[in-house]
A and B are shown apart, each in its own frame.
Chain A
Amino acid sequence: MNVVSNKWIGQRTIRPDGADKVTGRAAYAADATMPGMIWGKILRSPHPHARIRSIDTSKAEALPGVKAVVTAKDIVDFPVDTPVPLGIQDMRWMCRNVMAREKALFHGHPVAAVAATTEEIAAEACRLIEVDYEVLPWVIEIEDAIRPDAPILHDFLRFEGRPSNIAGKLEHRLGDVEAGFAEADVVIERSFATRPVHQGYIEPHACLVSVAPDGKTTIWSSSQGQFMVRAMTSLLTGIPQSDIRAIPAEIGGGFGGKTIIYLEPVAVMLSKKSGRPVKMVMTREEVMRATGPTSASRSTVKIGARRDGRIVAAQGTFYLQAGALPGSPIRGAAGCAFAPYDIPNVHSVGYDVVSNRSKVAAYRAPGAPIGAYAVECVLDELAEALGMDPLELRLKNAARQGTKAAHGPVYPRIGFAETIEAALAHPHYKAPLGKRQGRGVACGFWFNAGGESSAQVNVTEDGNVVVTTGHPDIGGSRASIANITAELLGIDYRRVSVLIGDTATIGYSNLTGGSRVLFASATVVTQSVEKVITQLRERAAKIWGIDPDAVKWEDGQALPAGDNAGRFPPLTLKQLAAKASETGGPIGAGVQLNTTGAEGGFATHICDVEVDPELGIVRVVRYTAFQDAGRAIHPGYVEGQMQGGVAQGIGWALSEEYVYDRQGRVDNASFLDYRMPVCSDLPMIDTVIIEVPNPKHPQGVRGVGEVPIVPPLAAISNAVYNALGRRFYSLPMSPPKVLATLEGAAA
């Protein structure tokens, strides 16, 4: 839908953050400094599970250079029996995650923090804190945590009347699955496992916090939402939101992992106690041990179809690891799993399982890749059993406008079938395969999201434009907003500056997550620009002495709407800006909305792998991703999102995993040991953008950032099967595992 008349929408304009990032000028949170600044450091639990009997901080406090020490006593306590939701988080769990309260729940769990004049003194002071622990039995893996005799993490959690590590259950039902399976000619049921993987953002968490003597608090930090930082910090410290100013730093990646906070409330309390600005920067090891990752999972999926390929029933059970405190993305797993298909009878259940590892954080389409992995692998087997092409099977059952999804909605116009049709027609799908190569396909869905956004669009006195929004830009929102503003105003995009405001300078804006940012901010920016255009027409009308309705805005200038309006030379944005004071004052407008209508996003992926059967190495040699973007406002960024999601999916499928040692500690808490793919592991990832505009958005935008990580796990697994004739039901398909399976097959 690249409308030919669009001048800027759909263009690969130069990104506003590019020059700063490639020249090293971009200011990340760790770059912030202040006069008088001191350093905060966290003492972390050496045990995976231990009751904290007492903490003696006196020796640390006596160390010269130490200015403040905090423990859980300094963080607001939310009792466990009353939920305090904030977005998808619950402050009962957040207060216990930022600082262990009754118990240390994982190795690396913060138990105290120190601020001192140097990082070395702070580290030394941490060593001087004496914690009296009662070490408790611990449990790491889902299958162990749900055993009846498992050590229980939280006495207050009950499942089916008994103390349990199952913290919650979510269920979607549609039709009658029993009746559906009875109608099926072919039924396939399989079980799957995935491992926890980290978001892997390159910038560790960091903040600089200053609490002034009058209590006014300023936070510079790296996050996916300055308003989330403000709200959570306020709740955890008791400082009113109006006294907290959260300033978003340029962000070095988040992928969902920065939708919660770790350091900010601790730094605030250290600053409040010491009277000094406090800076905290995590090491990579701290990031790996105590932030994110995403859940491990155990799932079982059963799908039944008639001989003609029509799917009649589907059932899924998904156990997801939450980490030490409740809150795994079961909604994404159970909700997205069957969402791409029109299935009359569905039963999908998710279980949230706690265990002694760091609390999971959102990771790109949280939960959805886990659900899709199981479903899309079963579909591959189903296609084989039915003798159908796997894409044709999906096309036959594809959800379309009017389909009722098990997780709730009846779809409006969606572009899912178009992604499958594009894949079927693409040369990649028919390209010959080499020796030991295989091809797999898979599809994926993500909900996408709307929510609260604010924008302010101001015309500068010299006739250019400054747009301020409230979302940290992790996927190209600034560049895209510049394109939209330039398009609507009819001016060159280089005349539009797009800034991210802080919590004091722009209205409330929900965090950067759920693939919502461009959808939501384009909506408020569009309405703001429309208001600005109305003002510009009014100003021109005033100058010309005619009715504002008789003025139109075109190509960056006001013109008389028709011959009857009178004959006046056009007034440009520059000319109107110069006359702004005489014609009524500054020109600008803001809009704040809770946006709705962010319809789901769909993708279909084709993957070719090559297997080295002597080493067990699987290499992705060709990959093409097809995705409905609604409208690609900045195609380069859409492609970047698609490629990035696929790259992360490749890591998840083939190499990445958290490994724990026998003491319940992460054994690979560094990039020397954590197997993240690098450029040389990846092929060029080809992208095909499909544009079926979202009817509920002014530009037709759908979220694009998360869908692309949903299909790869299954697409790669299916390709490996195609290459080897052996199916793998657990990830990662790492070389020793692949080799062992091949040798098992040979023996």
Chain B
Amino acid sequence: MYEFAYHKPSSVADAVKLLSADPEARPIAGGHTLLPALKHRLARPTALVDLSGIAELRGIRREGDKVVIGALARHAEVANSDAVKGAIPALARLAGTIGDVQVRNRGTLGGSVANNDPAADYPAAVLGLGATVVTDRRRIAADDFFTGMFSTALEPGELLVAIEFPIPEKAGYAKMKNPASRYVMTGAFVSRGPQGVRVAINGAGPCVFRQREMEAALAANWSPDAVANIRQSPDGLNSDIHGSAEYRAHLVTVMAKRAVADAG
């Protein structure tokens, strides 16, 4: 192990102060992504700012036509939350299929979304529901948040505080799991509601993206059949030892169809 400083602030303000004082410092939430990165020397921060003592980052609540989930909410908390299950059951189901029990009891919404792994689950829900990411200093629309592979609109030292999910009329999620890592090979989160009709695709490309052609088709006819014949171009999609870009392109259609069926 190499040396780094460890801080455990108890407020967002203190955490942000620590992070802005040292550009090489990094926040740590569940640590399920950051710790392996440290172990493999993919990241070598000078300091870790442990968010677990910050009460403001916790909690899941319904506020009018939104569900607001704190950055520190664990996947299992989201999966089991009555507020989420009642208002956006597809989001609770999604959270309940992330990794395994250990991962769900440790990993957090904020950590997953800030990390923006192309094969992560949550980014599809954030984009597919047209959520708003609330940080210590601003509000960022989902459409502007995910900027590329493992990158987001968050500035250095900016803390993700909560995510506001508008409550949709309908929403559904379907994914195929990678047969080795069990992360997402390709998934689709679809919704219809205050943010219009949205189809967000994860796993297939370097970053979660909206499938506009399918959105248009579903706006006209909300049914699995509406997307069944829409082909995703394989250009720019991921290709690896588990599946080619063509295979993933095929999965986009199948997953979208199944997500619409899941939404009902």
Contact = CB atoms under 8 A, between A and B. Distances in A.
A and B interact physically = yes
B180 A676 contact: yes
Contacts of B53: none
Interface string B232-257: 00000000011110010011001000
Contact of A667 (B176, B241, B250): B241
A659 B241 CA distance: 7
B181 interface: yes
Contacts of B241: 659, 667-668, 673
A675 B182 CA distance: 9
A614 interface: yes
Nearest to A677: B179
**Chain B CB within 10 Å, residue with most, of A659, A673, A678:** A673
Nearest to B1: A120
Interface residues of B, number: 13
A662 B132 CA distance: 43
Contacts of B180: 655, 668, 671-676
Query: What is the interface residue range for chain A against chain B?
Result: 10 to 19
B182 to A, nearest CB: 8
B213 to A, nearest CB: 19
Interface in A664-694: 667-668, 671-676, 678, 681
Contacts of B182: 678
Contacts of A734: 179, 242
A675 B243 CA distance: 12
A615 B244 contact: no
B179 A735 contact: yes
A250 B250 CA distance: 47
Contacts of A671: 180-181
Nearest to B228: A614
Contact of B244 (A673, A674, A675, A736): A736
Contact of B251 (A615, A659, A675, A681): A615
Nearest to B176: A615
A614 B255 CA distance: 10
A516 B17 CA distance: 66
A25 B28 CA distance: 32
Contact of B254 (A615, A668, A675): A615
A136 interface: no
A724 interface: no
Interface in A694-747: 734-736, 739
A735 B179 CA distance: 9
Contacts of A614: 254
Nearest to A654: B179
A283 to B, nearest CB: 11
A614 B181 CA distance: 21
Contact of B179 (A659, A667, A675, A739): A675
A736 B181 contact: no
Contacts of A735: 176, 179, 243, 247
A335 to B, nearest CB: 33
Contacts of A659: 241
B242 A739 contact: no
B36 to A, nearest CB: 10
A673 B241 CA distance: 8
Contacts of B251: 615
Contacts of B243: 735-736
Contacts of A675: 179-180, 242
B250 A739 contact: yes
Contacts of B250: 739
A456 to B, nearest CB: 43
Interface of B: 176, 179-182, 241-244, 247, 250-251, 254
12 contacts: A614-B254, A659-B241, A667-B241, A671-B180, A673-B242, A675-B179, A676-B180, A681-B179, A734-B179, A734-B242, A735-B179, A739-B250
Given A655-B180, A675-B242, A676-B180, 7 more contacts: A614-B254, A617-B176, A655-B179, A668-B180, A671-B180, A734-B242, A735-B179
The 8 closest A-B pairs by CB, nearest first: A675-B179, A675-B180, A736-B247, A672-B181, A659-B241, A614-B254, A655-B179, A736-B243
